[in-house]
Amino acid sequence: MEFSNDKLEFLRELVCGAPQNVVIAAHTNPDGDAIGSSLAWAAMLRRRGHNVTCVVPNRYPAFLEWLPDIKDLKINKLHPAEVAAAVAAANSVYCLDFNQIPRLDGIGELIEKNEHAKKILIDHHLDPPHEYDIELSDPACSSTCFLVYKLIEKLGMAAEIDLPMAEQLYVGIMTDTGNFSHSNLSAELFRAVATLVERGLDIPRVNRLIYNSFSADRLRLMGYALSKMETVGADPHRVAYMTLTEAELRRFNFRLGDSEGFVNYPLSIRDMAISAMFIETRQFIRISLRSRPDVDVSEFARRYFDGGGHKNAAGGKSYEKMPATIERFKKAVEEFFVTV
Ligand SMILES: [Mn+2]
């Protein structure tokens, strides 16, 4: 999507204008795209003299720990007073890689309380609510990191992308595209990656850091989850699902981020339409959904599980117990394929 000149000028004034107190907020259970885009945008703003604080509701997964500047992130669960002070003092708040303020848990209320701060959305999820001062929303963009790259380019600042920024941006680009295997892979995206390589990006190194840095427990948990996978429905509407209860997670010394990516594997079965992963947390069951390109799981998540996301990668929640949730899921699947 092309953004209007008005929007870009508004952004340019904020970025190039007098130094401000800035907060960059990313979503709960922040992933590589949320963290990478926040850190890169923060680096760009800091060069222009802004006082930037990146905030997230809870911890990031361990496989991101090596990212440049990640230690500067303020995690609301661990440092609520610092997060509250930064948000209260902010002149502008950038919301990156999500568009629903409730996805920020407690930070959302802090942002709403600060009425004088400009609120800017930079995101690629569907259906942004119109409650921002400017929305730079592009659901056709494969990652928020790529969107940030494009904005930097449009502002004429691409020459300033250095190696740390290249790594931050690349992590979101690679993880949100499933290492360049999902949709929305454009020539423009690969040109952006080529630029990042010119700035010194070492792709095999980043691959190793992201994909080969897990614990043995995590691999065993994945094997366990896959071995319990069930399938329902018949071609062309086959659906696979996996479940993990809190007790099962404990057995494998579960750490946040360990289940990342499990949901993708069942789609490697020929003609599989949807893959679903149900993970029990203390408050609810978290549902991750992936689909074949022609099947819209964001619609499915919205309709049945109070969720949303992208066409082929979405999520939702259930407040029922696991067996009741699975029963509801099976019924939803049947109904969904009759009505699409
Ligand atoms: Mn994203």
Distance (Å, whole) CA 173 – CA 201: 13
55-81 pLDDT, tens digit each: 999 999 889 999 999 999 999 999 999
Please give the distance, rounded to the nearest whole angstrom, from the Cα atom of residue 144 to the centre of ligand 1.
Answer: 5
- Whether 225 and 320 share a structural domain: yes
Same domain assignment for residues 94 and 197: yes
* DSSP string of 156-206, one letter each residue: T-GGG--HHHHHHHHHHHHHHTTTTTSS---HHHHHHHHHHHHTT--HHHH
Using 50, 70 and 90 to split pLDDT, how confident is the model at 236?
A: confident
- Distance between CA 330 and CA 337 in Å, rounded? 11
Q: pLDDT for 151-176, tens place per residue?
A: 999 999 999 999 999 999 999 999 99
* Contact (CB, 8 A) for 173 and 192: yes
Q: Phi first, then psi: give them for residue 124, nearest 5 degrees.
A: -130, 20
The verdict on 90 and 109 lying in the same domain is: yes
Residue 101: the pLDDT is 86
Q: How far is the CA of 258 from the centre of ligand 1 (A)?
A: 18
Same domain for 69 and 179? Answer: yes
146 C-alpha to center of ligand 1: Å? Answer: 9
Domain end: 185, 210, 235, which one? Answer: 210
To the nearest 5 percent, what fractions of the chain are helix, strand and coil?
A: 45, 20, 35
- Rounded Cα distance between 235 and 312, Å, is 18
What percent of the chain is modeled with pLDDT above 90?
Answer: 87
For residue 246, the domain's CATH number is: 3.10.310.30
Containing structural domain, residue 136: 5-210
Same domain flag for 154 and 221: no
Distance (Å) from CA 124 to ligand 1 centroid? 7
CA of 260 to the centre of ligand 1 (A): 14
**Residues 272 and 157 grouped into a single domain:** no
Dist. CA 323 → ligand 1 center (Å): 30
Percentage of the chain beyond pLDDT 70 is 99
Task: Decide: residue 127, CB within 10 A, 0-12 exposed, 13-18 middle, 19+ buried.
Answer: exposed
The overall average pLDDT reported for the chain is 95
Q: Do 225 and 150 share a structural domain?
A: no
Question: Hunting for tokens 């990042």 — which residue is that?
Answer: 196
Structural domain count, the chain: 2
Same domain, residue pair 43 and 93: yes
CA of 94 to the centre of ligand 1 (A): 15
Say which range, 153-157, 306-310, 327-331, has the weakest mean pLDDT: 306-310
Strands 21-26 and 92-96: parallel
The rounded Å distance from CA 231 to ligand 1 centre is 28
What is the three-class DSSP state of 110? helix
Cα of 176 to ligand 1 centre, how many Å? 6
Cα–Cα distance for residue pair 138/126, rounded to 1 Å = 8
Q: How far is the CA of 234 from the centre of ligand 1 (A)?
A: 31
Looking up tokens 């070492």 gives: 202
Mean pLDDT along residues 80-103: 95
Residue that is last in its domain, among 176, 210, 244:
210
C-alpha distances out from residue 155 to 5, 14, 151, 242, Å: 11, 11, 6, 44
Pair 138, 228 in one domain: no
Cα–ligand 1 centroid distance for 156 (angstroms): 23
Looking at the structure, tell me whether residues 181 and 244 fall in a common domain.
no
The Å distance, Cα 251 to ligand 1 centre, comes to 30
> Which helix or strand (DSSP H or E) is residue 286 part of?
strand 285-291
Indicate if the pLDDT at residue 234 is higher than 90. no
Helix H or strand E encompassing 325: helix 322-339
Q: Which of 135, 138, 192 is closest to 165 using CA atoms? A: 192
Question: Ligand 1 centroid vs 324 CA: distance in angstroms?
Answer: 30
Residue 273, phi then psi, degrees to nearest 5 = -90, -45
Select from 192, 210, 228 the last residue of a domain.
210
At residue 318, the 3 state secondary structure works out as strand
Q: Is 112 exposed, middle or buried (0-12, 13-18, 19+ CB in 10 A)?
A: middle
237 and 188 in a common domain: no
Q: What pLDDT, on a 0 to 100 scale, did the predictor assign at position 324? A: 98
Task: Output phi, psi for 52, to 5 deg.
Answer: -110, 135
- Give the H/E segment covering residue 233: none
Residue 235 confidence class, pLDDT cut points 50, 70, 90? confident
Identify the CATH number of the domain in which residue 29 sits. 3.90.1640.10
Whether residue 192 sits in one domain with residue 60 = yes
Give the pLDDT band of residue 256 (cuts 50, 70, 90): confident
For residue 55, the model assigns a pLDDT of 98
Amino acid identity of 7? Answer: K
CA distances from 295 to 178, 243, 312 (A): 17, 22, 7
298 membership: H or E segment, kind and range = helix 297-305
**Which pLDDT belongs to residue 183?**
75
* pLDDT for position 340: 60
